[in-house]
Amino acid sequence: MAVMTYAEAAVLAVTHEMEADANVVVLGEDVGRGGIFGQYKGLQARFGAQRVIDTPISEAAILGAGVGMALAGLRPVVEMRVVDFALCGMDEIVNQAAKNRFMFGGQGRVPMVVRMPIGIWDSSAAQHSQSLESWFAHLPGVVVLCPATPQDNYSMLRAALASGDPVVYMEHKTLWGATGEVDAALEARLGEARVLRPGLDVTIVSWSRQLQACEQACDELAQWGIAAELIDLRSIWPWDRATVLGSAAKTKHLLVVHEAVQAAGFGAEIAATVAETVAGCKVRRLGAPRIPVGYAPVLEAQSRVTAGDIAAAARGLAA
């Protein structure tokens, strides 16, 4: 076990995969100098510019090259800097990577990991602060992951590279400096949630950085005598129906919390599934309002779902 940051855990994961398989390559803007968050630090010096490839500023070209590399037998890690920029290359993800395996009878596979950092990036405004995981969850043919801890960023990134399918890998823009213990021998199973706190009164499901606010809310709820069970979904697609449904059946109260806009967010899928499956379970969603994230702190705050918001919603649900 070693203590490291979320970014260092990602570097370690890619390092181990590149050491184990010469077909693993990295491409994107600024990856040669370590990436804008340090998530590729030292990799080009170690593996060379032919495997850690700096690209022009063209997301469509980067993603198109990644798809072609994957179809040719490589296992590319494709860097988009932030999810907001990936929108310039959506056709390559939606119509090429996601569909190739199905359109050609499995003759081609696209074992590509596309890293798209999500979430509100302090004082970075509307074009650099989006959480778009529900867009990709709606897309058949891709895996969607949202690691919240250094351990998960290590284990899940390695699992993503080993999956053999296109993976939309969504790290949070403000988690890079978060520290935690990392066990390099610990493997992750994609599609498996993790119960962070056990409880009997209400189930709270969340993912990525929003879990921090949820943990604070659980502490506040405990002062009111409400024992919340907190679940880190980790994998948006496939998602762990069994863990969520089992918890909801136990507590009979479900609150789904995410940083993304509430309207048509992935929380709606979870809430609907529980409502359709668990008889007598009260269900509620909590997400951001349908507004662009503001630049000024006072405006940015309007898009944040706080621990107080979560605690109030859970108390109302469990009343």
Which of the residues are catalytic? 128
DSSP 172-240: BTT-TT-EEEE-TT----TT--EEEE--SSEEEEE-TTHHHHHHHHHHHHHHTT--EEEEE--EEES--
With CA atoms as reference, report the closest residue to 292 among 81, 127, 87: 127
The encoded tokens of residue 51 equal: 């495997």
For helices 210-223 and 307-318, the axis angle rounded to 10 degrees is: 50
For helices 6-20 and 150-162, the axis angle rounded to 10 degrees is: 30
For residue 175, CA distances in Å to 49, 180, 281 come to: 27, 11, 33
Rounded Cα distance between 88 and 150, Å, is: 29
The encoded tokens of residue 236 equal: 């948006």
Cβ–Cβ under 8 Å, residues 160 and 111 = no
